[in-house]
Amino acid sequence: MGAHAEITPMPLAAARTDAVWCATMCRSHRLPPGTFGDRAWTPAVRTPPHYPDAVTLRPEATTADLLGGVDPGTPGAST
């Protein structure tokens, strides 16, 4: 049995809900809502304070899935 063999829909839905919330908060601050990929949500610019700069949507997400969309020009990014 692999490490991701028993992923249930609930954690996947929770991760997606978190990403939707982050995208909504970006919009409420007049920022682009970010991009929903198959494995991660990433914003085009830094998110508002106290919000992550990437959200893992699938357990098989890689570092490149997350960091590839994070704004490298502004210090202090979080995932």
List beta partners, residue 55: 41
Minimal CA–CA distance to 36: which of 21, 63, 57, 53? 57
* Span 11-70, pLDDT tens digits: 999 999 999 999 999 999 999 999 999 999 999 889 998 899 999 999 999 999 988 888
Amino acid at 25: M
Average pLDDT over residues 71-78: 79
Could you identify the residue written with the tokens 């991009």?
35
With a threshold of 0.75, does the pTM exceed it? yes
> How far from 59 is each of 9, 18, 34, 41, 76, CA to CA, in Å?
12, 15, 20, 13, 24
Starting at the edge strand found earlier in the chain, the sheet holding 55-56 runs 35-36, 40-42, 55-56
